[in-house]
Each structure stands twice: as C-alpha cells, then as structure tokens.
A and B are shown apart, each in its own frame.
Chain A
Amino acid sequence: MAQAAHAGHAPEHPTSTGLDNRKLLMWIFLGSDCLFFGSLIATYLINYGKSLVGPYPHEILDIPVTSVSTFVLLLSSFMFVLSLAAHTKGDYRAFRVWVLCTVVLGCTFLGFQVFEFQQFVHEGLTPRTNLFGTTFFTLTGFHGAHVTIGVVWLLSLFFLSLRGKLGPDKNLSVDIAGLYWHFVDVVWIVIFTVIYLSGVVAGAKAAGG
C-alpha cells in the first residue's frame, strides 16, 4: 500500500533544491561515513594475514553466533520501517511498539558484540595482540559505537512520542533517524561478508584447512 502522504517531506523553508536541508545533510553525512568505514575496512584488508602471532581470524571468529546477530540487526531494520510507516499513518501507539522492538533488537546486537569481545579477550585476542586484533576491534568497535548512538537516538524518539512531542510535523525526524539506523545495518552487511565470512574462508585456505 503506497502512502502518498509520506512521499517527499516538504522543506521547512524554501531551499534551492526544493528538498529539506536536514535530510540532505543526513545523506551527505552518510556518504562521508561510507568513506570512514571504507578506510577502516581497507586498513583491515591491507593488514590481513600479516599478524606475526595468533589468534588468527579463522581460529577465533564464530560464524554461527555472528550469523544470529546479523539476523537480529536485519530484523531491527524491518522493525524500524514498520515504525516509520505507523508514524506516517498517525498510529503513534504502533510507532512506539515498533520503535521499542527496534531498540530491543539493537541492544541484543550490542549484547552479542560484548559477548564476542569478551570471548576474544578470554582466548587471548586484544587490540594489542596482533594486527588482526588491532584492525578487527577498531572496525567492529566503531560499528558498535554507531549502533549505540542509534539506540540512544531511537530511545529519545520513543520518549518524545510518549510525551506527545512527535506529532505528524515530526515525521521527517523519524525518517532521518531511520536513515541512520539502516546505514548501520548496511555497514554490518559489508563487515559480516568481508571480515567474518570471507576472512574465515581465506584464513582457513591459507592455513591449508
């Protein structure tokens, strides 16, 4: 069902593009954040296989656990688009329910990450152990920080809505928060492929496994 009311938020004031500057700014920020994560991924890749001591990626990365956390993050993105659709329709109770579901799933993802980091430290991998540890913790740590900021942002939307301060005129605020949340999701899609799946396969190949 198409929601015509949601198409193209009218800008608060006239702009040269006719588009709302806040949304444009968020897209410019996301474009720059692509470069940020691209640099971290490039740093990981150019140092891949150069660790002098273990543990190495294929020895320590846990694909089943990370697959579950990936499902959780993908599901959280779905929950958030449902909340945006509910807000657009003016169903604020449904909006709060879906936002809260998104927050719970975001926190679950962070829980998985904390669990993973603890496991790694327990098995002897810290940011100071080797090049893999340094680049891995930096990349996934910054992603975790982005998720944490997203969770705080979504919680603030939830409480604003609870106090009746997120009416139809604030639909763009929900849309912009959603852009950030989905961006965190797409970055994880890349990290899961490059660091986890491909990293383990390549490491096992190199080790003759």
Chain B
Amino acid sequence: MTQHHAETPLAAAHTPSERWREKAHPGPATYAKAAVSLIFLTGVEVVIFYIDPLRSIVIPLFFILSIIKFALVAMFYMHLRYDARLFSWFFVGGILLATSVIVGLIALFKTIFV
C-alpha cells in the first residue's frame, strides 16, 4: 500500500528534490550574524525612540525595522530561506490574511495612529 503510494505519478512529481527543493541549513556562524543584526536593529529602535527631532517620522521607521527583524528570524532561524517553498507560502499566506484583517478593520473604523 505504502509502496504503491510512493510510485503514483502524483508522488513522483512532488518529490522534495524536484518541486519542493530544500537547501542545507546554516550553521552557528550564520545564526550568530543574524543574532547580532537583530540585537543591533532592536538597539536602533530603542535609540531612535528617544530622539525627539525624529518623532514625526519615527513610527514608519519602527515598522520598517520591525519588518526587517521579522524577516531575519523567519528566513534564518525558521529556515524559510532554506526549506521548501511550500512552507513559505503557508506562512506568508497567514501573514497576508492577518495584514488584510488589520488594514480592513482600520479602514472600517477609520482609526490609525501612524
């Protein structure tokens, strides 16, 4: 039964080596570089929070830095950069849905602090 399943055209067309190609995960050196970047970006966020002249543009800056940090963790620590693309689709799909819910509700209630 199991053997039969493995030999079906569907299974053959979707082997990880073809359709969902995966790469080797990085090692501690790459993880350390990502960690330093994350700590640095968080430090930048905290520093610009206290710079009064930047108050008018600081919120978009926070969002940009946050997106970069989010992407760093997702790509290097959650291995989305190395694993099968299908995983990214499910995760990005969830993020897009969540973003559309946030944007839709803000538009509906006409409230946003940016």
Contacts and interface: CB of A to CB of B under 8 A. Distances in A.
Q: Do A and B bind each other?
A: yes
Interface of A: 1-4, 6-8, 13-19, 23-24, 27-28, 30-35, 37-39, 41-43, 45-50, 63, 67, 70-71, 74-75, 77-78, 80-82, 85, 88, 175, 178-179, 182-183, 185-186, 189-190, 192-194, 197-206
5 contacts: A13-B5, A31-B91, A38-B97, A38-B102, A198-B113
A6 B66 contact: no
B: interface residue count bin: 35 or more
Given A70-B42, A78-B32, A16 B94 contact: no
Contact of A81 (B31, B62, B108): B31
A31 B14 contact: no
DSSP majority for the B interface?
Answer: helix
Interface in B92-114: 93-95, 97-99, 101-102, 105-106, 108-109, 111-114
B114 A198 contact: yes
Nearest to B22: A8
Interface string B45-89: 110010000010011001101100110011011110011101100
Q: Which 8 interchain pairs have the tightest Cβ spacing? A: A38-B98, A31-B94, A8-B22, A202-B113, A34-B94, A1-B27, A193-B66, A14-B6
A17 B87 CA distance: 11
A34 B65 CA distance: 19
A34 B98 contact: yes
Interface string B4-28: 0110001100111111101111111
Interface of B: 2, 5-6, 10-11, 14-20, 22-29, 31-32, 34-35, 38-39, 42, 45-46, 49, 55, 58-59, 62-63, 65-66, 69-70, 73-74, 76-79, 82-84, 86-87, 90-91, 93-95, 97-99, 101-102, 105-106, 108-109, 111-114
A31 B27 CA distance: 26
A77 B78 CA distance: 10
Contacts of A194: 66
A125 B4 CA distance: 62
Contacts of A88: 25
Contact of A48 (B74, B86, B113): B113
A38 B25 contact: no
A38 B99 contact: yes
B97 A85 contact: no
A204 B113 CA distance: 11
A175 B82 CA distance: 13
Given A1-B27, A74-B35, A193-B65, A35 B94 contact: yes
Given A14-B6, A189-B70, A201 B58 contact: yes
Most chain B CB neighbours (cut-off 10 Å) among A14, A47, A63, A200: A14
A183 B99 CA distance: 16
